[in-house]
Structure 1
């Protein structure tokens, strides 16, 4: 089983694309500029206690950079 939430690498503007896998499809939730943004996207997607999921590798995969990093490299 794949991880349902993907936080992509940091873009040149400092944001990270957040997507969720559901029913065999991937849905882009938006561009996050902070952990608060990711939490809000996950809340809107219907996940309970999304703030608790950010550090759970069974739920969230942080790609191309360290988790919780938001400044463009």
Structure 2
């Protein structure tokens, strides 16, 4: 069974300004971390939120929900 207190990250679809909103759910509450324009932004948000090994989390479908294509960023 999944730990309900474990952080769950959502990376939303690319918005009209080219960024993707990033949120983290902790204990049932969603927190907006920021708008990312590349994977590095997402990992920095996660690191600042206190998550360990954020680079490895990006490819973990149990912890990160990519809305739209994973790792897709406007050029």
Same-fold status (TM-score > 0.5): yes
User: 1:1-73 alignment to 2 at 5 Å?
Assistant: 1=2, 4-63=8-67, 65-71=68-74
Unaligned runs of 5+ in 2: none
Partner deviation per Cα, 1:38-70 (whole Å, 9 max, x = no partner): 00000001011100110110110001x210001
Aligned residues: 71
Query: 2-side partners of 1:60 and 1:21: how far apart?
Result: 10
Unaligned runs of 5+ in 1: none
**Higher strand residue share:** 2
TM-score under structure 1 length normalisation: 0.90
Higher relative contact order (CA 8 A, sep 6+): 1
Query: Displacement of 1:12 after TM fit?
Result: 1.3
Could you list the structure 1 runs, at least 4 aligned residues long, displaced by more than 6 angstroms after superposition: none
Query: 2-side partners of 1:53 and 1:23: how far apart?
Result: 18
Query: Displacement of 1:36 after TM fit?
Result: 0.2
